[in-house]
Amino acid sequence: MATRFFGQFQHTLDDKGRLILPAEFRPDLEAGAYIGRFPDHCLAIYPPEEFDTVTEDITSSAKQGGADAVAASRFFYAGARPLNPDKQGRIPIAPHLREWAQLDRDVVVTGQQKRIELWSPENWRVVEERGQAALAQRQGWGM
């Protein structure tokens, strides 16, 4: 069965820059994961099989897409790192990734089906408002 992540959680970074993952996300990441930069100044955490799919897409695009696709590929791979949660479900977030996502202490953790996203509360509010407005305009999603 494919890994799926859903929900929104409020967590905090400890003094060493580690984040405790939501309990329901931990079993799917016990074997490890990958973290990287994602649009809108958030971080994305991928289980290994999903990271493989993403990297295949990025590599394919870079081979076919010209200078912009190569630049995006470089940016993605330079920021990506493997993760191994400890027994308490904590993951270290590298300083350059915390800076990219503007993470200070408080972190909004969201499940986005195939990945987990980490947001500063300020950036999440902007994205959440945009999403609420877009959802209000949608029809036919079973609502």
* Whole-number Å distance between alpha carbons of 47 and 125: 26
Residue 133 has pLDDT above 80, yes or no: yes
Please compute the mean of the pLDDT values over residues 78-95 and round it to a whole number: 95
pTM of the model: 0.91
Estimate to the nearest angstrom the gap between the alpha carbon of 56 and the chain centroid: 17
Q: Is 129 exposed, middle or buried (0-12, 13-18, 19+ CB in 10 A)?
A: exposed
**Domains of the chain, earliest start first:** 5-137 (3.40.1550.20)
Number of residues that make up the chain: 143
Going by the DSSP 8-state scheme, the letter that residue 66 receives in this structure is -
Q: At residue 1, does pLDDT exceed 60?
A: no
51-82 tens-digit pLDDT: 999 999 988 888 887 788 889 899 999 999 99
Output the DSSP codes for 83-130: E---TT-EEE--HHHHHHTT-SSEEEEEEEESSEEEE-HHHHHHHHHH
Interior/surface letters 54-88, b for 16+ CB within 10 angstroms, e for the rest: bbeebeeebeeeeeebeeebeebeebbeebebeee
What value, to the nearest 5°, has the Cα angle with vertex 75 and ends 4 and 15? 70
